[in-house]
Amino acid sequence: MAATLTTAGGYISLLFEKDEELQYFGLERLNEVIDEFWAEISDHVSHIEEMVEMTQDKRHELAALVASKVYFHLQEYKDSLDHALEAKDLFDVKGKTDYVKTVVNKGLEEYIEIRKKQARGEMADQMDARLEKMIEGVFKRSIESKEYKSIIGFAIESQRYDVLEEVLKDAGEKAPELVRYIQEECLEYVDTVEVLETLYELMIRKQLAMENVNYEKVCQCLVAINNKEKCAAILLELANSSEKGELMAYQIGFELEENATQDFTRGLIELLGKEGENEKISKLVNILSGEARRKLWLEMLFSNNNADLGQLKEISTHLDSRNSAYHSCLSICNAYMHAGTTVDEFLRKNLEWLSRANNWSKFTATAALGVIHKGQTDRGMDLMQPYLPQDRVSSSAYSESGAFFALGLINAKTTNEEVISYLQDALTHYQTKDQEVLQHGACLGLGTVAMGSQHGELYESLKSVLYSDSAIAGEAAGLAMGMVMLGSGSEQAIEDILHYAKETKHEKIIRGLAIGISLVMFGTRDTAERLIEELCNDEDPLLRYAGVLTVSTAYTATGSNTAISRLLHMAVSDVNDDVRRNATIGLGYVLLNSPDQIPSMVQLLSASYNPHVRYGAALALGIGLASSGSPEAIEIVEPMLRDSADYVRQGALLAMSLVLMQATEATNPKAAQFRTKLTQVISNKNEDVSTKVGAVIAQGILDAGGRNVSIRLLTSSSTPNVQSCVGLLLMTQFWSWFPYAHFLPLAFSPTAIIAVDKNLDLPNLYLDSSAKPSLFAYPPPFKPAVSVASKSSAPVALSFTKSKPKTSLSASTKPASPKPETPKPKKQTQPSSPSAPNRVSNLSRVLPAQEPYLSWPTDARYSPVKSGSLSGIVLLVDNSPDSPVDLIPSALVQAANEADAAAKSAAASESANNSDDANVGPPPEPFQYPFGRD
């Protein structure tokens, strides 16, 4: 029986012998037992290191290996790596032990850091040849063992594009999968813009060389590097290749229009226009301009509007309309509930309530019309005409300013030249000090309609308003300048804005400029570092506020450790509450691509002694986990609903509504409980104003877009949806300026299946569903509690005492005939099917959680050109093109025709009555807010 070794003392003593062979034998034995006796051996590591330095024979490398292992166990990994490199071939990178893995990882860290410094020009020295040899061995081993994904990450970090190409070449048939992995999982973690551009160019080159090219992914890369010419060429090539290619061109066009900047899509339209006029190009232009998407979204939202007017009416009974905060929050709630639906029925039925608005409440109420009619670009000017200054003479500055803002919201991100020209003219015309309110609305409208257009002339017009040093107009001008230059990273724009922010004494202007700076630097990543460093270290808290906003926007959805560290530092150490609150909120934006990490990141912050940090933690969860129904987020936010600070409760209510958007009672019981909580808060007469305002707005968010929209801050390719991110960012700033809440609908996205054929028409079709309809049904209508006493005490009205009710369009006593109400949308009926128990028809609501239960019928006439598409705008392949097409009739057109018929009927009836009775009043006037002169 072999004796058990209890000490390495005998082997250690051999190191002190003069005989070289004995020393070598001692090193060999120590190398074998070092994992067990490393603590004993470590007492003599200095002697082992002397052997490394003093010998150049076979003892040199073995002594280096033993020393490396000793330092590994001592957790001195830098020294362990240095000695492993000295050991040369005795250190086997193919080993599977913890020692080898740790040293290799440390080597990769060192290698990556040196490569990054060399790329930045901070290190002129050559790379250690021994380290380079070791890393090359690691790369070679990983490729040979087919560990592609692990080596891809290291290759990207170390900027070894040659290794990346070798991996894709060796992968063979797996190359398309790896390209998709790189594009969707890896690139979002790259902070350096230059590296990103190089990687995107590599992805484009590799994908175009493949047998089956994924043109959708190629175009996403082209958007990232702003290559309009190549993208336009691909769209034309697809459109002219085949019928399926034409459909794919349209599908890509819809995605480009929604996710790319205005500058990019406008460039595509110009390039396509140079190819001449034909049907295919006309359709592509229609899609890229956004006209096709807006029409389809309007149709869907109008047809499926499920906003609960009873709920709104109940809310209004618990709010004092003479309180401007309550009046504004109810205007915002109604706007959210009917966003994009075109339904203004609540306003028509509550004209007396509307008439109590004053000053900025009028602004908010009028701007709400822009949210309700968002997307009606063809009729935008006509819809807002009654509220705009007549003959360029202002009679009600606040409501007219709100109408300017509403025009921008209706035409958001369209670069509508007619609207831009009109609002620019308003800026020029209304320049006196007492007209700064009108300039405020015009600036917000211009920024919204020209968002991301980088329109030079418009930027200069806004700058001239800024330089007038009006607090009210200057705040909006600073914000609008950032919106126009969105994501450009323009050094000139930053210089203009930053210089004026340091010159002016108006806090409101500096706040507007702070937001503007962050918008200019949206998505610029490391390019913004110098500016961020300057802002975050400034003595002025408003400029530090600009700094944390810029961190949030520049690194949106990157998961950057640098950005997270800076935001956490500012959140816990800054002396200003604004800075701390917005630094905490910013974590939600930076971690958009890793939402599961947000709860653990903000859990401690949610229990902070500082209420502003707690407020920020709640909103960070709401932003990062919007429309997810996350149980982890709900668990953290729920206790904050009972917080001692009223504005923390407000933030918790808003965050909970963001998380629970589109959550049904069947899929998430917390949804019903939260709705009950909102009702309790709103009806509580003793509740603080701030909390009650939060509850009303939260109710609007829950039921936004007629209960048919959610907030999606990432695109299908996991890149930030710029418009949505900007809308939510600006809404969170309503803390300092209430009307910013109207920007949230920019983030709304319909949750629906909108399937269209090559003519962009809506065929009557369905998807099979394996779920019960009740699982994803709309919430039941609100039922107010009715007391028995009130029923019994109601007076009895005898038939002969009844008289016709009087109607009025305003709070005045002037008689006027009522305008017919907006026709209610007719629900689309599903095609009849005797065999399928549950089907979802085209143009119906489809929740993200519902998609796993849906499938395209195997024997269907239509199939999606993009396989697996179950929601959003989907282009269809017609498998029976010669058969008659059954299209869904337009509910909007039907409603308009019914309204015209009703108006003609009323006019004819009025004319007949006038011939018999001269005392009958005039025909009804167009619906207007009952605002008088300011």
What is the rounded average pLDDT for all residues in the chain?
86
Q: What is the pLDDT of residues 305-319, one digit of tens each?
A: 999 999 999 999 999
> Residue 389 above 60 pLDDT?
yes
Tell me phi and psi for residue 437, to 5 degrees: -65, -40
pLDDT band at 16 (very low <50, low <70, confident <90, very high): confident
What is the mean pLDDT of the segment spanning 282-307?
93
Q: What is the pLDDT of residues 847-882, one digit of tens each?
A: 999 999 999 998 889 999 998 889 999 999 999 988
42 versus 337: the higher-pLDDT residue is 337
Residue 416 neighbours by CB distance under 10 Å: 22
Q: What is the pLDDT of residues 466-503, one digit of tens each?
A: 999 999 999 999 999 999 999 999 999 999 999 999 99
> What is the CA angle 884-889-894, rounded to 5?
150
Rounded distance, CA 678 to CA 728, Å? 21
For residues 399 and 440, the answer to whether their CB atoms sit within 8 Å is: no
What residues form DSSP beta bridges with 720? 714
Residues 6+ away with beta carbon under 8 Å from 169: 175
Q: What is the pLDDT of residues 70-126, one digit of tens each?
A: 999 999 999 999 988 888 888 888 888 899 889 989 988 888 888 888 887 776 567
Edge to edge, the sheet with strand 752-756 lists 844-845, 752-756, 872-878, 862-864
What is the mean pLDDT of the segment spanning 710-722?
88
Residue 46 neighbours by CB distance under 10 Å: 9
Helices (H), 350-396: 351-354, 360-372, 380-384
For residues 587 and 601, the answer to whether their CB atoms sit within 8 Å is: yes
Q: Which amino acid is at 540?
A: D
Rounded distance, CA 512 to CA 515, Å? 5
What is the mean pLDDT of the segment spanning 364-368?
93
For residues 678 and 315, the answer to whether their CB atoms sit within 8 Å is: no
Rounded distance, CA 385 to CA 422, Å? 12
Predicted local distance difference test score (pLDDT) of residue 912: 55
For residues 753 and 842, the answer to whether their CB atoms sit within 8 Å is: yes
Rounded distance, CA 544 to CA 533, Å? 10
Structure tokens belonging to residue 602: 């903000």
Closest by alpha carbon to 479, among 739, 744, 730, 262?
A: 730
What is the mean pLDDT of the segment spanning 354-375?
91
Rounded distance, CA 208 to CA 214, Å? 8
Q: Are strands 844-845 and 862-864 parallel, antiparallel or unpaired?
A: unpaired
> Residue 168 above 60 pLDDT?
yes
What residues form DSSP beta bridges with 863? 877
> Residue 6 above 60 pLDDT?
yes
pLDDT band at 701 (very low <50, low <70, confident <90, very high): very high
> Residue 811 above 60 pLDDT?
no
Rounded distance, CA 269 to CA 282, Å? 10
The 3-state secondary structure of 795-841, one letter per residue: CCCCHHHCCCCCCCCCCCCCCCCCCCCCCCCCCCCCCCCCCCCCEEE
What is the mean pLDDT of the segment spanning 10-15?
86
For residues 407 and 384, the answer to whether their CB atoms sit within 8 Å is: yes
Q: What is the pLDDT of residues 718-740, one digit of tens each?
A: 889 999 999 999 999 998 888 99
Predicted local distance difference test score (pLDDT) of residue 188: 76
Rounded distance, CA 635 to CA 622, Å? 12
Across 49-80, b (16+ Cβ under 10 Å) vs e yields bebbeebeeebbbbbbbbbbbbbbeeeebebb
Closest by alpha carbon to 284, among 245, 314, 323, 318?
A: 245
Max Cα-Cα span within the chain: 133
Predicted local distance difference test score (pLDDT) of residue 900: 67
pLDDT band at 684 (very low <50, low <70, confident <90, very high): very high
For residues 85 and 131, the answer to whether their CB atoms sit within 8 Å is: yes
Tell how far CA 373 is from the center of its chain: 22
What is the mean pLDDT of the segment spanning 361-390?
92
Rounded distance, CA 33 to CA 31, Å? 6
Q: Which amino acid is at 265?
A: T
What is the mean pLDDT of the segment spanning 636-659?
96
Distances (CA, A) of 339 to 97, 441, 726, 746, 901: 60, 19, 17, 10, 26
What is the mean pLDDT of the segment spanning 632-640?
96
Structure tokens belonging to residue 374: 């968002």
Q: What is the pLDDT of residues 213-265, one digit of tens each?
A: 889 889 989 998 889 999 999 999 999 999 999 999 999 999 999 888 888 89
Q: Assign 407 to helix, strand or coil.
A: helix
Domain residue extents for the chain: 226-289, 753-776+837-900
> Residue 834 above 70 pLDDT?
no
> Residue 682 above 80 pLDDT?
yes
Q: Which amino acid is at 529?
A: E
DSSP per-residue codes, 18-68: S-HHHHHHHHHHHHHHHHHHHHHHHTTHHHHHHHHHH--SHHHHHHHHHHH
For residues 60 and 89, the answer to whether their CB atoms sit within 8 Å is: no
Q: What is the pLDDT of residues 191-201, one digit of tens each?
A: 788 888 888 89
916 versus 407: the higher-pLDDT residue is 407
Rounded distance, CA 456 to CA 622, Å? 35
Q: Are strands 748-750 and 766-769 parallel, antiparallel or unpaired?
A: unpaired
For residues 326 and 319, the answer to whether their CB atoms sit within 8 Å is: yes
Predicted local distance difference test score (pLDDT) of residue 828: 45
Predicted local distance difference test score (pLDDT) of residue 138: 86
The percentage of the chain sitting over the pLDDT mark of 70, rounded to a whole number, equals 90
Tell me the whole-structure pTM to 2 decimals: 0.85
Predicted local distance difference test score (pLDDT) of residue 130: 86
Rounded distance, CA 163 to CA 148, Å? 11
336 versus 805: the higher-pLDDT residue is 336
Predicted local distance difference test score (pLDDT) of residue 112: 86
Predicted local distance difference test score (pLDDT) of residue 847: 93
> Residue 531 above 50 pLDDT?
yes
Structure tokens belonging to residue 489: 């990273």
pLDDT band at 522 (very low <50, low <70, confident <90, very high): very high
Q: Assign 890 to helix, strand or coil.
A: coil
